[in-house]
Structure 1
Amino acid sequence: MDETGERCSTGVPGLDQVLHGGFVPGRSYMVSGRPGTGKTILGMHFLLEDPENALYVAFEEREKDIRANAAALGFDLGDVTILDLSPDAESFQSRMHYDVFEPPDVEEDITQHVVEAVDDLRPTRVFVDPLTQLRYFAPDDYQFRTEVAGFMSYLKDSDATVVFTTQPMPNMPDADLEFICDGSMDLGYAAKGRTLTVTKFRGSGFQGGIHTMRITSSGIAVYPELVPTVRSREFDADTMSTGISEMDSLLNGGIERGTVTVISGPSGVGKTTTGSQLMSAAAEHGGRSVIYMFEESTDTFTHRSESIGIPVREMMDAGTLDVVEVEPLAVSSDEFAYMVREEVEEKGTKVVMIDGISGYRLSIRGDDDELVRELHALCRYLRGMGVTTLLVDDVAPITGDFQPTSERISYLGDNILFLRYLELHGEINRAMGVLKMRTSDFERTLREFEIRSDGLHLGDPLTGLQGVLTGTPEYVEDRGE
């Protein structure tokens, strides 16, 4: 397939990426979907890429309604030529009385008006909305397909790139129209919201999958499904210090750049604080970091961090750290992945922290299999870009049987740093340990740690205790005595 030629932009943010650059010029494309899925808005985006050479053939809506709807989205169709062939258009009714002409005569008259408009304007872009309206004027399906094929062939011979919409009905599917076009896409709905799926694209590859689409007050945006790739950005695989010597000892010097670290533990044990300490240390060594807060407000996080001496606000002012508050019920996993890609590819972000997996799970709107699949793709992408990734993972048990991570998440981490509550002498204490490091050895002991007003502190290894992982350890005698 030749993907090196010039492309015709769709005008829709994100869709050109799915189509590997946009439409192939001079070809025809079908956009299918139920009413309200955004087909007409997509067509407006397409026309506004070259409005002075654009023709809008309207079979359903009146011109004044089209322009009013476009204006509500901030679209100026002033330079777009609109051929109003809607059934209730006064100009159309004065030329063609549906109650007088037989359907074949009406169809022929409609085609003639389109031909005249194309010959006069010589457009480079044509949008037909919806093409299936012509079905009502054809005596049978064979005649409809024949006329539509000739119609599309004429438009393509005029060197125009054509986009047409269809509205499938239970008794009138539109699958028979795919044979006349060079590409097709379907707009619909899924658990994650509005979706766009490319089903055919002649002469080029495209990104498959079900992509998230959002309609806003300014039009359509497409968020391509994230596809992990092999390493695509060079980086120095050195070790990033945590900024705390005792934690560095646990981690055999720190965390290797470009790896994924899971910070796990029960609620309130200090996972986010530990993560923010690592982000602070990363900022001191240069490079930009970003924290995505799924479960806490930016103000609360900033206040908590500042109260223990982690200079979050100072780093934000210096541009080395950004804290982004994410509402998981309002953002799909595809939209979130798109946000992360912008940070990494456009702003050069080196460290990403997701706080936390429980909140991120809500954006998936699926089961645990979907969660693992989406997180796997995201982590593979970040690892391939040389980004150091921190995942904050909340595990349910406060004490009792040790659970290093939430279900099926552990394999994602190159490193697993776990936090644990301990009951010692009737007091609640905390411990930190390392369960896994793929790239190096690590300290096998646990260390007690505290969160004080001047930061995070770790103690000496807890070598005189057994049963630490149960949450209720006991002191043991020194076996050397």
Structure 2
Amino acid sequence: MNKDEKLRRLSTGIPGLDEILGGGMLKERAYLVRGGPGTGKTTFCAHFAKAGIDRGESVAWVTLSEPPGRVKESTSAIGLDLSKVTFLDLTPGPAFFRDQKSYDIFPPEEVESAPLAAKIRDVVEKTKPTRIVVDSVSQLQFLSSTPQNFHKQLLSLLAYLTSNHATVLLTSEASPQAPDDEVQFLVDGVVELEVSANDRHLRVKKWRGSEHSAGWHSYQITRTGLQVFPRLDPQREPREFPLELISSGIPALDELLQGGISRGTITLISGPSGVGKTTLGLQFMKEAASRGERSVVFHFEEARRTIIGRGERVNIPISQMLEQGSLELKRIEPLQFSADQFAHMVREEVEQRGTKMVMIDSVAGYRLSLRGNDLGASLHALTQYLGNKGVTTLVCAEVEKITGDFQITEVGISYLADNIIFMRYFEAGGQLRKAIGVLKKRLSDFEKSVREIEITRYGIKVGQPLTSFSGILTGTPEFRGSSS
């Protein structure tokens, strides 16, 4: 976005939302935020108002549904101080009920519309606000006897406010009793908030004069207000990076990979529980640390101390890597984060901390965080984004069967991988042993043999090709030569 375009924009003050809106709201336009009770409409408006106050702007708030004191109290609890906002209180006070006011002779719009308009004009002329909140426009609708009158009154109100150099933010309840179709038609932009059983989502239904990110995006209401997690764009700001091979630090494994894995690719490490998938991924990160690069493990199942202890026992100095900042272990509670929230965390690591290698451990845990979203589509967007940023991605995929029919994943995502490394158990001579091989390497050739792998206190040891056995991938191989 160029400098002139930025000058035409007003920030919403909501983390993540301006990115979706193409930079923010266009000045001197009217916008609508709509949603049911509890979706966060007033909090949305509070961010918008506070952003104006922080910029030294004059901000007015016309409230028809909640007294100003209550608005200030609830927003102050999440750190949004609206004490410098000019409030116009048009809510019915206790006197309305006490005096039993009613409109038996004149229709309500003839009794209240003129005083209401005069009060709004008075606030605008006195404070000259650059931002105005009207919460909620649904209450204005009740004062009009016909949709035609409401359309005319709202059109006139918006024209008056925007012609006085104000950017207007309206709210509506979007209920069957007070449909807001007319409002959506008249405003320049519509943001819709929705709460489901598992998550909160918003989408931009309309945004005149500006590009925006379509579709649904996750958001949360936290102790500091609203935070939006834009849905990941896999093509976001791709950059050039060297097509170099990344060594594992294990000569025999590099032989299997004919030099290593290529930077910016996605590697799927497949195998049953306990076979060593995480340890193998940490080995690549150990080698990255020796090059001065930062890596992050997003782990869904295992505790942090378990990963640290395991690494230390096999000569991977995780504690030292953590102290140096070359490695970060991030424990993810799957049911507490949506796919958009998780993608936001990954983006922060890449764009703010310069992370070069990411491991997702494992697919099963990541799948839980999707809350019904498509696994293939979400993982595709995430891994493609990382690839476009030159980040090398390792994804651990667990298969349930220890022996038997060979299987890469149980969720059909192997097509996403540039490289596939498989690890298997096999039984030979009354012992349970482990094998490793490469099934796919998109950017170059690879060794087609299967080798034995051992994880010892001295590190990972990969042996010579298991030429004396056949049927290793079934888990019960046949011995066909001298002992290996």
TM-score range, shorter chain: over 0.9
1:14 maps onto 2:16 in alignment: yes
Q: Which residue of 2 aligns with 1:355?
A: 361
Alpha-carbon spacing, 1:119–1:225, altered in 2? closer, same or farther (3 Å): same
**How many Å separate the matches in 1 of 2:84 and 2:97?**
25
Q: Which residue of 2 aligns with 1:45?
A: 47
Kindly state the Cα deviation for residue 178 of structure 1 after the two structures are TM-superposed: 1.1
Segments ≥4 residues shifted beyond 6 Å: 92-96
Alignment of 1:146-157 (within 5 A): 146-157=152-163
Residues 96, 106 of structure 1: 8 Å contact kept: no
**How many Å separate the matches in 2 of 1:408 and 1:230?**
25
AA of the residue aligned to 1:86: T
Residues 141, 178 of structure 2: 8 Å contact kept: no
Kindly state the Cα deviation for residue 311 of structure 1 after the two structures are TM-superposed: 0.8
CA deviation string 1:364-390 (max 9, x = no partner):
1116xx000000001111111111000
AA of the residue aligned to 2:419: N
Q: Which residue of 2 aligns with 1:458?
A: 462
Q: How big is the alpha-carbon RMSD for the aligned residues of Structure 1 and Structure 2?
A: 2.0
Q: Which residue of 2 aligns with 1:76?
A: 81
AA of the residue aligned to 2:220: R
Q: Which residue of 2 aligns with 1:379?
A: 383
Kindly state the Cα deviation for residue 347 of structure 1 after the two structures are TM-superposed: 1.2
Q: Which residue of 2 aligns with 1:245?
A: 251
Aligned residue for 2:154, secondary structure, equals helix
AA of the residue aligned to 1:476: R
AA of the residue aligned to 2:82: L
> Which of 132, 157, 168 is matched with 1:162 structurally?
168
**How many Å separate the matches in 2 of 1:361 and 1:417?**
21
Kindly state the Cα deviation for residue 31 of structure 1 after the two structures are TM-superposed: 0.5
Residues 242, 281 of structure 1: 8 Å contact kept: yes
Q: How many residues matched?
A: 475
Q: Which residue of 1 aligns with 2:225?
A: 219
Residues 107, 145 of structure 2: 8 Å contact kept: no
Alpha-carbon spacing, 1:109–1:117, altered in 2? closer, same or farther (3 Å): same
CA deviation string 1:11-40 (max 9, x = no partner):
000000001110001100000100110011
Q: Which residue of 1 aligns with 2:294?
A: 288
**How many Å separate the matches in 2 of 1:433 and 1:48?**
57
Residues 250, 442 of structure 1: 8 Å contact kept: yes
Aligned residue for 1:49, secondary structure, equals helix
CA deviation string 1:295-325 (max 9, x = no partner):
1121211111112211111111111111111
AA of the residue aligned to 2:447: E
> Which of 181, 185, 189 is matched with 1:179 structurally?
185
**How many Å separate the matches in 2 of 1:354 and 1:96?**
64
Q: Which residue of 2 aligns with 1:195?
A: 201
**How many Å separate the matches in 1 of 2:154 and 2:182?**
11
Residues 289, 326 of structure 2: 8 Å contact kept: yes
Q: Which residue of 2 aligns with 1:408?
A: 412
1:436 maps onto 2:436 in alignment: no
Kindly state the Cα deviation for residue 405 of structure 1 after the two structures are TM-superposed: 2.3
CA deviation string 1:408-429 (max 9, x = no partner):
2111110000100101112111
CA deviation string 1:424-478 (max 9, x = no partner):
1121111101000011111111111111112111111101101111000011148
**How many Å separate the matches in 1 of 2:236 and 2:164?**
42
Give 5+ residue unaligned stretches, structure 1. none
Residues 220, 226 of structure 2: 8 Å contact kept: yes
Residues 242, 277 of structure 1: 8 Å contact kept: yes
> Which of 326, 329, 332 is matched with 1:326 structurally?
332
**How many Å separate the matches in 2 of 1:221 and 1:461?**
53
**How many Å separate the matches in 2 of 1:96 and 1:345?**
61
Aligned residue for 1:143, secondary structure, equals helix
Residues 192, 212 of structure 1: 8 Å contact kept: no
Alignment of 1:203-352 (within 5 A): 203-229=209-235, 232-352=238-358
CA deviation string 1:101-134 (max 9, x = no partner):
7412112211211111111110000011011101
Residues 239, 254 of structure 1: 8 Å contact kept: yes
1:475 maps onto 2:479 in alignment: yes
**How many Å separate the matches in 2 of 1:4 and 1:125?**
19
Residues 191, 365 of structure 1: 8 Å contact kept: no
Residues 362, 395 of structure 2: 8 Å contact kept: yes
Kindly state the Cα deviation for residue 404 of structure 1 after the two structures are TM-superposed: 1.6
AA of the residue aligned to 1:459: G
**How many Å separate the matches in 1 of 2:98 and 2:399?**
71
Residues 231, 386 of structure 1: 8 Å contact kept: no
Alpha-carbon spacing, 1:26–1:95, altered in 2? closer, same or farther (3 Å): farther
CA deviation string 1:237-293 (max 9, x = no partner):
111110111111111111111110000101111111111111111111122111111
Kindly state the Cα deviation for residue 189 of structure 1 after the two structures are TM-superposed: 2.5
Residues 245, 260 of structure 2: 8 Å contact kept: yes
**How many Å separate the matches in 2 of 1:126 and 1:230?**
33
Q: Which moved more, 1:58-67 or 1:93-102?
A: 93-102
Aligned residue for 2:232, secondary structure, equals coil
**How many Å separate the matches in 2 of 1:261 and 1:440?**
13
Aligned residue for 1:343, secondary structure, equals helix
**How many Å separate the matches in 2 of 1:45 and 1:469?**
58
Q: Percent identity?
A: 45
Alpha-carbon spacing, 1:231–1:206, altered in 2? closer, same or farther (3 Å): closer
Kindly state the Cα deviation for residue 4 of structure 1 after the two structures are TM-superposed: 2.8
Kindly state the Cα deviation for residue 97 of structure 1 after the two structures are TM-superposed: 4.9
**How many Å separate the matches in 1 of 2:99 and 2:461?**
85
Residues 192, 364 of structure 1: 8 Å contact kept: no
